[in-house]
Chain A
Amino acid sequence: MRRWMWRGATGTVVVFLGLLFALGPENGGAWAGSFEDGYDAYQRGDFATARKMWTPLAEAGEARAQYNLGIIYDEGRGVAASKEKARGWWRKAAAQDLPEALHNLATSYLFGVDGADDHAEGLAFLAAAAKLGLRRSQYVLGKIYLHGRGVEANEAAARDWIEKAATQGLDRAQYNMGKIARDGVAGAIDKKAAASWFLSAAKQGYAKAQNHIGMRYARGEGVERDNSEAMFWLTLAARQGHWTAKINHKTLAAKVGRGVFADAERRADEWKPH
Chain B
Amino acid sequence: MRLSVSRLVICLLFFWLAPIKVAAADEVRFIQALADQAISVLSDSQGTLEERERDFHGLLNDSFAMSLIGRFVVGRYWKTMTPDQQAEYQALFAAWVSKSYSARLGGYSGQEFRIDRTQKAGQDDVFVRTRIVQKDSAPLRADWRVRTFDGKHKVIDVVVEGVSMLTTQRSEFSAVLRKHGPDGLIDALQTRLTKFPAKAG
Contacts and interface: CB of A to CB of B under 8 A. Distances in A.
Contacts, number: 158
Contact of B28 (A8, A79, A143): A8
Nearest to A45: B108
B172 A17 contact: no
Contacts of A112: 175-176, 179
B43 A4 contact: yes
Interface in A120-173: 136, 139-140, 143-144, 147, 149, 172
A44 B108 CA distance: 8
Contacts of B183: 147
B100 interface: yes
Nearest to A47: B108
A104 B108 contact: no
Contacts of A111: 176, 180, 184, 187-188, 191
B110 A20 contact: yes
A238 B148 CA distance: 29
Interface residues on B, range: 35 or more
B79 interface: no
A35 B32 CA distance: 35
Interface stretch (B10-18, B58-66, B130-138): B130-138
Given A6-B35, A18-B45, A107-B192, A71 B109 contact: no
Interface string B31-64: 0100110011011010011000000000000000
B84 A9 contact: no
A48 B110 contact: yes
Interface stretch (A192-200, A240-248, A257-265): A240-248
Given A20-B110, A75-B103, A243-B84, A110 B199 contact: no
Interface of B: 28, 32, 35-36, 39-40, 42-43, 45, 48-49, 83-84, 86-88, 91, 100, 103-104, 106-118, 134-138, 140, 161, 172, 175-176, 179-180, 183-184, 187-188, 190-192, 194-201
Interface of A: 2-10, 15, 17-18, 20-21, 26-27, 35-36, 39, 42-48, 52, 64, 67-68, 71-72, 74-81, 100, 103-104, 107, 110-113, 117, 136, 139-140, 143-144, 147, 149, 172, 208, 241-244
Given A100-B199, A241-B87, A244-B84, 16 more contacts: A2-B110, A45-B42, A45-B108, A46-B109, A46-B135, A67-B198, A72-B198, A75-B103, A75-B104, A78-B137, A80-B138, A107-B192, A107-B195, A111-B191, A112-B175, A113-B188
